[in-house]
């Protein structure tokens, strides 16, 4: 069923809080499109909903922030291939036609496949692959977000977005769960247990006024001050702001990186990190768990990578971590390196 609400609405579908598996910033790619004459296929997986610049044109026509094909004068319809950043189980989609008003497709459909690297074809157009329908042919409105639930919960690596017959889509967001085989990871291998690409999630914080907590676990360093987690200025004496991350897999924490990249006049004075083990996110969010100190309070610097190893307290099986910052401010990235308990 489709749900027509804003992604930022408190009543938006619960799946919009999950990881966008197709996001460019996570590593998603648009590999092919039958036609992207007016606007490039790569725009489909960029952040946000897309923008509109009234007087901006290209040599091919009006500049649009999305994927837009030309008006089709032959039989058939247009489609694009999206490679997910990581294999995953899809829960729902947001097909967004923001600013596409007289040029949106009336319908869309999505299929999926699970391909290994060796199976990825060079010529998508002339191959008949075993695509499986994930979203039946569904109606689209102009200038709107369309939230649709996925029809199955299989693991996919590639999607085929069909639009009927042509037109423009601003963004495609693919919400779901990262599927990572931790049994294939060596028992002594150290990985970033908090990273979104491995299945980590930001599940709760007390404040994210300026920027979203999920930025903390994105790949690479932050591109600017907005690409991090930043709380508002708090005037309460001895204030503490905090964020809770669910690790991709329970493990023992060996190294920690706290990065204040781009935060110069607004970085926290100090931070500490706690951990717990719980099979229930609800128990963690209700604070019905026993938190243990993993990293004592540490002074922070502006625009700096802070590495901790010898400062980390002994720990064995941690499923969730809580980053505390004092009194407020911004952190760009948090890396929790450790060994998964398989």
The 10s digit of each residue's pLDDT in 167-182 is 999 999 999 999 999 9
For 220: left if phi > 0, alpha if psi spans -120 to 50, otherwise beta; the answer is left
Q: 170: domain CATH number?
A: 2.60.120.260
Whether residue 165 sits in one domain with residue 17: yes
* Residue 63: count of CB within 10 angstroms of its CB: 14
> pTM higher than 0.75, yes or no?
yes
Helices (H), the chain: 281-285
303 in Cβ contact with 221 (< 8 Å): no
Residue 116, pLDDT score: 83
> What token pair was written down for 173?
């967001």
Residue with tokens 């044109």: 57
Overall domain count for the chain: 2
**Of 178, 209, 224, which one is at a domain's C-terminal end?**
178
- Mean pLDDT value across the chain: 94
Pair (75, 120) in one structural domain? yes
CA distances from 326 to 37, 98, 308 (A): 51, 39, 18
> Are 211 and 252 within 8 A, CB to CB?
no
Same domain (yes/no): 224, 283: yes
Residues 9 and 151 in one domain: yes
Residues 108 and 217 in one domain: no
Tokens standing for 49?
């909903």
Residues in contact with 286: Cβ distance below 8 Å, sequence separation at least 6, in sequence order: none
- Domain of 148 in residue numbering reads as 2-178
Share of the chain above pLDDT 70, in %: 95
Q: Please check whether residue 312 is in contact with residue 294, taking contact to mean a CB–CB distance below 8 angstroms.
A: yes
Looking at the structure, do residues 174 and 186 belong to the same domain, yes or no? Answer: no
Name the domain boundary from 163, 178, 193.
178
Q: Both 46 and 120 in a single domain?
A: yes
Together in a domain, 188 and 174: no
**Same domain flag for 163 and 197:** no
Burial of 199 (0-12, 13-18, 19+ CB in 10 A): buried
Measured CA angle at 200 (ends 197, 21), to 5 deg: 45
Contact 156, 114 (CB under 8 A): yes
Which pLDDT score is estimated for 11? 66
Q: Do 243 and 300 reside in the same domain of the chain?
A: yes
Distance, in Å, from the CA atom of 50 to the CA atom of 44, rounded to the nearest integer, reads 9
Q: Which two tokens stand for residue 216?
A: 């903390």
* Domain boundary pick from 178, 206, 229: 178
pLDDT at 125: 77
> pLDDT tens digits for 40-85?
999 999 999 999 999 999 999 999 999 999 999 999 999 999 999 9
Do 168 and 225 belong together in one domain?
no
Q: Tell me which residue of 66, 80, 78 sits closest to 143, measured CA to CA.
A: 66
Instruction: Give yes or no for residue 126 having a pLDDT over 80.
Output: no
DSSP string, 47-85: SSS----TT-EETTEE--SSEEPPPP-SSS-EEEEEEEE
Q: Determine the average pLDDT of the residues in 5-24.
A: 80
Query: Among all chains, which residue has been given the structure tokens 């060996």?
Result: 254
Helix (H/G/I), strand (E/B), else coil: 243? strand
All residues at 6 or more sequence positions from 82 whose CB lies less than 8 Å from its CB, including other chains = 22, 28, 29, 30, 31, 44, 45, 158, 159, 160, 161, 172, 174
C-alpha to C-alpha distance for 215 and 197, rounded to whole angstroms: 12
Whether residue 281 sits in one domain with residue 251: yes
Task: Sort strands 201-205 and 241-259 into parallel, antiparallel or unpaired.
Answer: antiparallel
Q: Pick from 323, 274, 276, 278: which is nearest to 300 by CA? A: 323
Flag whether pLDDT at 215 surpasses 80. yes
């Amino acid at each position: 069923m489709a749900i027509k609400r804003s992604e930022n609405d408190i009543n938006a579908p619960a799946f919009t809080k999950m990881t966008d598996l197709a996001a460019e910033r996570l590593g998603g790619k648009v590999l092919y499109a039958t036609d992207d004459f007016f606007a490039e296929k790569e725009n489909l997986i960029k952040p946000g909903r897309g923008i509109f610049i009234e007087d901006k044109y290209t040599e091919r026509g009006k500049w649009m922030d999305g994927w837009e094909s030309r008006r089709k004068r032959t039989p058939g319809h247009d489609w694009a291939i999206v490679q997910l950043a990581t294999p995953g189980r899809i829960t729902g989609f947001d097909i967004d036609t923001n600013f596409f008003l007289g040029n949106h497709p009336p319908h869309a459909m999505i299929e999926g496949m699970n391909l290994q690297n060796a199976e990825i074809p060079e010529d998508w157009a002339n191959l008949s692959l075993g695509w499986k329908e994930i979203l039946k042919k569904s109606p689209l409105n102009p200038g709107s977000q369309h939230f649709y639930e996925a029809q199955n919960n299989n693991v996919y690596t590639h999607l085929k977005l069909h639009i009927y017959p042509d037109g423009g889509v601003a963004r495609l967001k693919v919400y779901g769960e990262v599927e990572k085989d931790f049994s294939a990871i060596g028992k002594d291998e150290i990985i970033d247990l908090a990273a979104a690409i491995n299945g980590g999630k930001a599940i709760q914080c007390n404040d994210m006024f300026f920027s979203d907590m999920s930025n903390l676990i994105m790949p690479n360093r932050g591109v600017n001050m907005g690409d991090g987690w930043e709380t508002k200025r708090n005037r309460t004496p001895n204030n503490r702001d905090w964020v809770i991350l669910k690790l991709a897999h329970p493990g023992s924490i060996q190294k920690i990186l706290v990065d204040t990249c781009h935060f110069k006049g607004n970085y926290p004075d100090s931070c500490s990190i706690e951990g717990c083990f719980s099979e229930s996110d609800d128990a963690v969010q209700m604070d019905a768990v026993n938190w243990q100190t993993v990293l004592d309070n540490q002074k922070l610097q502006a625009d700096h990578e802070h590495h901790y190893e010898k400062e980390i307290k002994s720990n064995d099986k941690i499923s969730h971590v809580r980053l505390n910052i004092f009194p407020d401010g911004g952190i760009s990235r948090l890396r929790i390196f450790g060994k998964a308990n398989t």
